[in-house]
Amino acid sequence: MEAEGLDWLLVPLHQLVSWGAAGAMVFGGVVPYIPQYRDIRRTQNAEGFSTYVCLVLLVANILRILFWFGRHFESPLLWQSIVMILTMLLMLKLCTEVRVTNELNVKRRFFADFDPHHFWHWSSFGDYVQCVLAFTGVAGYVTYLSIDSALFVETLGFLAVLTEAMLGVPQLYRNYRHKSTEGMSIKMVLMWTSGDTFKTAYFLLNGAPLQFSVCGLLQVLVDLAILGQAYAFARRPQKPAPHVAHPASAKAL
């Protein structure tokens, strides 16, 4: 009787927690990019942010949305991809405008030139949009033709989350190559680790497709490896390392 009497409190509390977790999944991934966006806008300097991060996240989240058509998963994960795509487009727009403004007497480059040497280094935001639309169109058409193949759908889902899971690897390799973590924010890596741990737990508890859970665990392992590097290299004299992008620009929650 006492348990039944608490239902009026426990049920809405459980619903509130569920909504909070879903909201964290949808918007948590874009939070690190807010200060990065504001910093670029304030300084009018985008050299500290790699637009290849935008490329990787755009590809990963477009593939994840296409995977949803073949195998439906949690709605918050779908909305997370949509929000992340919009965020990366905003980042690209700002970075392109700042870079073009700072470049003087530089030949303009266009997506329609189809020059592989200047891929993803175009002079107009519209060219990036054209590239994204072209990739989405081709990938969408292939998905439409192969949507009945379980193997194709599962592979598509694996590629989507694996691409995102690999975002921490460049930082891991950079630390290994320089035998140093100088210039890397430990607080940010801890934020990566906590965010990826939360995300992986969310996948496991909500019955997300296996690909999500496996790649979530991979992300956590990469984060822990980077923290291990920080501990190991802190015990030896640090060597000067080239300036690198702020870690907030190289990771999604």
Reading the chain (253 residues) residue by residue, the pLDDT tens digits are 455 556 666 667 767 777 777 787 788 778 777 877 888 888 888 776 778 878 888 999 999 999 999 988 888 889 989 999 999 999 999 999 998 888 776 678 888 888 888 899 898 999 999 999 999 999 999 999 999 999 999 899 889 888 888 877 777 877 788 788 775 667 767 877 887 888 888 888 877 778 788 888 888 898 899 889 888 888 775 555 444 444 444 454 4
Distance CA 225, CA 230 (A): 9
Distance (Å) of CA 24 to CA 56, 79, 250: 21, 11, 19
Give pLDDT, residue 253: 47
Phi-psi region of 105 (alpha: psi -120 to 50; beta: other; left: phi over 0): left
Give pLDDT, residue 74: 81
Give pLDDT, residue 248: 46
Report the candidate in 51, 9, 16 with the shortest Cα–Cα distance to residue 33. 51
pTM (predicted TM-score): 0.75
3-state DSSP assignment of residue 154: helix
